[in-house]
Amino acid sequence: MRDTVGDLIRGYDSTGRYLDRNGLDSLKSYFATGTARVKAAALLSANAATIVKQAGSKLFEEAPDLIRPGGNAYTTRRYAACLRDMDYYLRYATYAVVAGNTDVLDERVLNGLRETYNSLGVPIGPTVQGIQLMKEIVKDLVNGVNSIDTSSANGNFLDQPFDYMSRELSEKNI
Ligand SMILES: CCC1=C(C)/C(=C/C2=NC(=C\c3[nH]c(/C=C4\NC(=O)[C@H](C)[C@H]4CC)c(C)c3CCC(=O)O)/C(CCC(=O)O)=C2C)NC1=O
């Protein structure tokens, strides 16, 4: 499992270089957002159950066929599996936010997921919709409660893991 600092150092070490201006700038920008990342992750962890529940309700409101007979989240077991998947996405997103790196998502979440979903008939589009709904809820929560600055040198660090999972799952730009 990789993170911003480890990746950077590995890159320099592999060619025996000291950290240069570029490397130091990347490190600075990572550490500058460090406290905000940790605060955001703490807030998401504390509110995980609520976030998943809200996103689930919203998803089934927007796509009611999912929970009707014939829908993939129909029956208590599959409904629960769906919310459990959403919880996985949220939990791994918090790890990725702290690591400043999406590698944990590739390794633990996305690896083989499309194939599993396809073989079980779990629809990708609505799953991505669920991930995006969580992102919006998460951003409202973080922006509202704490005025945590989520902007970083390469975009909003809260958007990143959710958009990454969405993109990788759907294999197209969102
Ligand atoms: C930590 C990494 C990890 C992930 C991501 C993961 C996902 C995952 N979701 C699964 C099932 C499932 N996933 C869903 C999800 C949904 N159905 C819908 O209609 C919605 C769009 C969506 C919720 C948003 C459902 C309903 C099942 C059960 C499908 C079935 O058994 O028929 C399965 C098959 C095995 C099982 O049921 O547990 C896996 C492996 N497992 C993991 O270990």
Write out pLDDT tens, residues 40-83: 999 999 999 999 999 999 999 999 999 999 999 999 999 999 99
Give residue 155's region: left, alpha or beta (phi > 0; psi -120 to 50).
left
Interval between CA 13 and ligand 1 midpoint (Å): 40
CA–CA distance, 167 with 172 (Å, rounded to integer): 6
**The predicted structure's pLDDT at residue 173:** 42
Structural tokens at position 36:
């905000």
pLDDT in tens, 97-145: 999 999 999 999 999 999 999 999 999 999 999 999 999 999 999 998 7
Classify domain 34-170 at the CATH superfamily level: Phycocyanins (1.10.490.20)
Spell out which residues line ligand 1, taking CB within 6 angstroms: 66, 72-73, 78, 81-82, 85-86, 88, 108-109, 113, 116, 120, 122-123, 126-127, 130
Is pTM beyond 0.75? Reply is yes
CA–CA distance, 19 with 7 (Å, rounded to integer): 13
**The predicted structure's pLDDT at residue 46:** 97
Q: Which atom of ligand 1 is nearest to the CA of 72?
A: 19
Residue owning the nearest CA to atom 40 of ligand 1: 116
Domain map (residue ranges) of the chain: 1-32, 34-170
Residue 11: Cβ within 10 Å count: 13
Residue owning the nearest CA to atom 34 of ligand 1: 116
89-108 b/e (C-beta count within 10 Å ≥ 16 → b):
bbebbbbbbbbbbbbbbbee
